[in-house]
Structures are given as structure tokens and as C-alpha cells.
Amino acid sequence: MLIQDIIRRKRDAETLDADAIHAFMRGVADGSVGDAQIGAFAMAVVLNGMTREEAIALTEATRDSGQVLRWHDLHLDGPVLDKHSTGGVGDLVSLVLGPWIAACGGHVPMISGRGLGHTGGTLDKLEAIPGYDVTPDDDLFRRLVKDVGVAIIGQTGTLAPADKRLYGVRDVTATVESLPLIVASILGKKLACGLDTLVMDVKVGNGAFMPTPDASRELAEAIVAIGSGAGTPTSVLLTDMNQPLADCAGNALEVHEALRLLRGDGRNKEVRGDGRNKELRGDGHDSRLYQVTHALATEMLVQAGLAADAADAATRLETALASGEALERFSRMVHGLGGPSDLAERPEHYLASAPFTTDVVAPRAGTVNAIDTRALGLGVVELGGGRRNAGDAIDHRVGLSRIAGLGQRVERGQPLLRLHAASRAEADAVSRRLREAFTLGEPGHAVPPALIHATLRQETSS
């Protein structure tokens, strides 16, 4: 089958069969298809779209372009499952969710990525931990998934290699914004992990990857249909990103927050008028981070058959957290991948802190009616906590903490956030933009948006 004929057919808006798509992606993976041909194919898809069947075939071909992990030889005592997020600010869910699910009987081979644009990356957060190896060999990775129940690492060169080439060409040919190409890229890598089930977290709001709520919903619907169509039961939670998920953003700061939640200390939080966190007990004011992580974990446990229903899942999750088992799984994973064995007991000893901190304060009294979440994420990047260019080094120390939430009342001169920087000069360079990210309204009560906008499953939604 000639590659140029496949490109011509898609250029002319014809429907490609699965054999043609698989042949094209095999050529992408082995190098026999050139970059010019990849670019032409991608542009034809952008202009003419794909049918659902074509999109499923593209996802399967991406998955099958390299190694597909198999777990049957390890005789695991539970299902293999995972979660993926489209990314956000203060989104450290993966650090908590993986060990939490492992403590409930699941096995989580989580292949994660680095920060992209204004969004933080799970691998960057984990590399704030001294010694943590995000590129272990296959034997160690598989052993941790079996024995600990979770291992969070980076993508290996053998998993979905066609996606790496295709994405690289899309990035320089203005063909990134195509739903079937986006979905195949996301799902191809995840499904190569040999999952029994997958739950996706698609963000909605001004800090989300997708530009509008409708676009986020369209992506979520496509992920459910294509993931399930490719043979892996897939569901999606649409979650809010109109404010940071945690009240911090930055790599080491987010590892600290993950440990707090896994210890049970970071579950209930309320922000007082002076911007300081006040711990609550049993009053139902669970943090945004806890609520979203719990909702995703519940969906995973029920979908994988580890819990009979949401109530059963809640009981299992509470037990895993209260007993310390979830924290223990995180500690074992960290140590197994080269990090310190006592990170949970002495995080301040291992997680570097920024040499300069200062508060960004409110210019006047008011209620936080809106937050430019993207601007906060870009502020972390400008401080050095993210990358402007692919090869940039990360300063894991820097970031934001004590970030005021939507609906919070602040007085003039009270903190909107605390800024952690390498120097006063770097802090001063971003302070004004960070202050302008908050819109203060007249005194009154602003109702924050719902954290869970919708849950989508195959042929159903709620």
C-alpha cells in the first residue's frame, strides 16, 4: 500500500480503513514514512476530520506501534488501571491517586509527562525528590507495579514511538488542534500500558488545555467513545480549572501538599481572611484537591470492580487513608525508584525550599470573583518552575502557596498568595502580573463553580 495513496485518499476526504491507518503508523514508527508525508497526512486530518472508526483505528495503531505492556505473567492480584489528566495548575492528583488506588487493591503503571505551557508536569514534581528515577528499566518498573501496586515514571522509547514522531511534526506544522489526533496521542500511550480500565480527568475553565467548555466536553466524549472502542473501558470526569486545584503551584511545594493529603493533614482546609490555612475536622469542607482526587478514585474503583458502588469505594478509600496504607505505598514507590526511604517523615530535609519568599497582597478589599488560572501557571514558569523551551532546567524550589480561592474575602494589604522565588529580583518581576490575576469584586458572596462538571461513561453521562 503506497503511503502517498493513503495521504491522497485522506486529502480527498475519503474514509480510510484500519489496514491503511495501521500501515501508515507502522511507517511512522520505523522511519519509512518521512516527515513531509507525516505533515501532509496530519494536515489532511485537520482539514477533513476522521470518522469514529478511523479515530479508533488511529488510536489502536498508535498503541501498537511499539511495546504493549502485558501483565498476565506476573499473576497480579488485582486489575491494572490508570488515570490521565489534560493538565492544570496546582494539579497534583496523580501523586496522591496512584498510591491511594494501590492501597485499595489496584495496580497502577502510570506513565506521566512533563510540564507543558502553563500546566505543571507530574515528572517535574517527582524530580523534586532527590534520587527519584523517572526512567527505570522495565524489570524494576514491572516489579514495583506488582509489589507496591504503583510506579509513576516517564514514557519509554518503546511505548507508542509513532506518537512521538507524529506529535513532533504536528508541533511545527500547525496541526496540533485536531480532535482525532489529540485523542490518539493521549490514548495511544495510555493503552500501550495494558490497562484493564482508564479514567480521564478533562479540565474545564480558564486554566484548562481546551479553550472552551464546549471543546472540553467534545474532547471528553471522544475519549470515552474511542478508548472504549479500542477495547479499554474508559470514563471521563470533567473537572473545574477556573482556579488552581490545590492552594499551591510549584514542584517541591506540590510534593509537600501530596504528603499532607496522604497523611490526612491536607484533607479538610478552609482559608481564613488572613490567607492562612486553618485545619477543619469533620465539617465537610474538604479541599478541592481532596474532592477531585476522591471522585476520580471512586470512579476507578467502581469501574475496575474493586468496589461495588460509590459508597463502598468511599469506605475503602477512607480506610486506606486513615490506616496510613496509601502513604506507605507512596513511600515504597519513592524508595523503590531511588528516593529517600524517610521522605514522608522528613520532607523538609529533602525537598528544597526557595531562598526568598514574599506575599503578593490585595490592593483593596473585596471578594475574589475571578482568577486568571493560566496567568498563575505562567507565573510559576517565569520563576523557573516550568520550561520556556524544551531543554530548560527546572528550579524545583520556586512556586506559589496560600493561593486565595474563589469566593474568599480579603482586606486591603492581606495576601492573595505567597511567592517562592530564587531572588527578590525574580519575585519582583512577576508580582504585578500575579496580583492582576485576581479580580476583586464588591463585598458579598461569590459562589465558586462546581468542581465536578459531569461524568461521562460509555453510552451514559451524568
Task: Quick: pLDDT tens for 333-374.
Answer: 999 999 999 999 999 999 999 999 999 999 999 999 999 999
Question: For 72-345+452-461, which CATH class?
Answer: alpha beta
Q: Which residue has the cell 486545584?
A: 245
pLDDT in the model for residue 459 = 66
Residue 207: Cβ within 10 Å count? 26
Burial class from Cβ neighbours inside 10 Å (0-12, 13-18, 19+) for residue 38 reads: buried
Predicted pLDDT of residue 277: 40
Q: pLDDT tier at 266 (50, 70, 90 boundaries)?
A: low
Distance, in Å, from the CA atom of 143 to the CA atom of 146, rounded to the nearest integer, reads 5
What pLDDT shows up at residue 447?
A: 73
User: Maximum CA pair distance of the chain?
Assistant: 69
pLDDT digits (tens, 9 = 90+) for 172-226: 898 988 999 999 999 999 999 999 999 999 999 999 888 799 999 999 999 999 9
pLDDT, position 386 = 87
Q: Specify the 3-state DSSP secondary structure of 418.
A: strand
DSSP label of 119: B
Q: Cβ distance 108 to 82 under 8 Å?
A: yes
Residue 137: pLDDT band (50, 70, 90) is: very high
Q: Which residues of 414-449 are buried (b: 16+ CB within 10 A; e: fewer)?
A: bbbbbbbbbeeebbeebbeebeebbebeeeeebeee
Query: How would you classify the pairing of strands 234-240 and 452-457?
Result: antiparallel
- 118 DSSP 8-state letter: T
Grid cell listed for 416: 492573595
Span 10-21, average pLDDT: 97
Which positions ≥6 away from 89 have C-beta within 8 Å? 118, 119, 120, 207, 241, 244, 245, 249, 373, 374, 376, 377, 380
Whether 72-345+452-461 and 3-49 are alike in CATH topology: the answer is: no
When pLDDT is averaged across residues 396-424 and rounded to a whole number, the result is 96
pLDDT of 118 > 50? The answer is yes
Report the distance separating Cα 343 and Cα 50, nearest Å: 48
CA distance 255 to 252: 5
Tens of pLDDT along 273-328? 333 343 333 333 579 999 999 999 999 999 999 999 999 999 999 999 999 999 99
**For 380-398, how does the pLDDT look when each residue is reduced to its tens digit (9 = 90+)?**
999 999 877 767 789 999 9
Whether residue 207 contacts residue 373, with contact meaning beta carbons closer than 8 Å, is answered with yes
* More confidently predicted of 210 and 2: 2
Distance of alpha carbon 22 from alpha carbon 54, whole angstroms: 10
- What's the pLDDT score for residue 393? 86
Query: CA 120, CA 153: separation in Å to the nearest integer?
Result: 15
Q: What integer pLDDT is reported at residue 114 of this predicted model?
A: 77
Q: Residue 171: what pLDDT?
A: 79
CB 234 within 8 A of CB 198: yes
- Position with higher pLDDT, 30 vs 274: 30
CA separation, residue 288 to residues 224, 252, 267, 282 (Å): 24, 19, 9, 15
Question: Residues with catalytic annotation?
Answer: 82-85, 122, 170, 185, 189-190
Tell me phi and psi for residue 308, to 5 degrees: -70, -35
Report DSSP state, residue 194: -
Q: Domain limits of the chain?
A: 3-49, 72-345+452-461, 352-441
Residue range 39-64, pLDDT digits in tens: 999 999 999 999 999 999 999 999 99
> Residue 366 region, left (φ>0) first, then alpha (ψ -120 to 50), else beta?
left
CATH top class, domain 352-441: alpha beta
Average pLDDT value over all residues in the chain: 91
SS3 category, 419: strand
**Per CATH, which fold does 3-49 belong to?**
1.20.970
C-alpha distances out from residue 353 to 251, 400, 419, 423, Å = 10, 12, 12, 12
For strands 452-457 and 460-461, give the pairing: antiparallel
Identity at 106, one-letter amino acid code: G
